[in-house]
Amino acid sequence: MTVPVPLQVQLLKISEEEAGQRIDNFLLRICKGVPKSHIYRVLRSGEVRVNKGRIDQTYRLEEGDVVRVPPVRVAEKVVSMAPGAEFAILFEDAHLLIIDKPAGVAVHGGSGVSYGVIEQLRASRPDAKFLELVHRLDRDTSGILLLAKKRSALTNLHEQMRDGVTDKRYLVLVHGNWQNSRQHIKLPLHKYTAADGERRVRVQADGMASHTVFSLLRRYGPYALLEAELKTGRTHQIRVHLASSGFAIAGDDKYGDFALNRILQKADGNRIAFKRMFLHAHQITFIHPDTGAPTTLNAPLPDECERFLKSLSATSAA
């Protein structure tokens, strides 16, 4: 569904939540569908005014500023058709919304996915003035996902993540003879695009420094349940660190053991079928951006993962 966008001057008053961002980023957000080059052209021409005065593209908006946005030609505005959805809420206040994301759901639209968690939450909360992802989870990873309800909270949490203040822990099941009770893996990671257009990551000498600490929780015959502690937050970090060390994550269809995955999809004796990736964001610790209080949240292991572990216990005991 599309609706026409009127070609007229807009006078927009900056709210507390919009304050602090650069004028170019503000315009790119509100003028969806307008080429970036056009946004910068109207900024350079002086057609965009703040409080009736000219500004440059680096100007940071303040609460109460009145921004004059000139007519911009955009063919159509796409109205989001994402169905409204709510997810299991682990924590919510005026600053944060923290949910337990199920596996198989993308966090945002794109790459062949028309909508994700953020679009569905916005659709279900049409009165929300601000709602943004603080970080991301892979589509096939379940667990804790942070969203900010205020720009100040988003900025604060991003700073905490950059400074290594946040502590993110995952539960992951690997196949192989895992030996150490605690093991550090430090392998540099490089992002690239595969021939099919898919985003991938590999270990590469000149890649980004990456560090994961793995702790052995329990063995299940030829499998091991680990807790992964992220010291850096690179794309697909846990998956590539494990695969490159010879340990495939059960059900990982991108970096895992594809023959093993096919076997797992069918029940065998006491072991039930398992048809997802066993990677779950189960704990996060951070400083609350408003109160300053240390905050730790947990998301229980999903039922399908718990049932699979119980079936592995029954298999190894038989």
- Tell me which residues are annotated as active site: 138
DSSP-derived secondary structure for 243-283: HHTT-EETT-TTTS-HHHHHHHTS-BTTBPP--S--EEEEE
CA distances from 84 to 80, 81, 121, 128 (A): 10, 9, 6, 13
Which of the 8 DSSP states describes residue 206?
T
Burial (CB count <10 Å: 0-12, 13-18, 19+), residue 236: buried
For the four alpha carbons of 158, 166, 280 and 235, in that order, the dihedral sign comes to: positive
Q: Check if the beta carbon of residue 235 is closer than 8 Å to that of residue 201.
A: yes
As a whole number of angstroms, the distance between CA 13 and CA 282 comes to 41
Amino acid code (one letter) for 315: T
Task: Count CA within 13 A, CB hemisphere, residue 186.
Answer: 3
Find, among 163, 159, 183, the residue nearest to 172 by Cα.
183
H or E, element range at 144:
strand 142-148
Q: How far is CA 232 from the centre of its chain?
A: 14
Report the DSSP beta bridge partners of residue 100. 88, 144
Which of the 8 DSSP states describes residue 60?
B
As a whole number of angstroms, the distance between CA 216 and CA 219 comes to 8
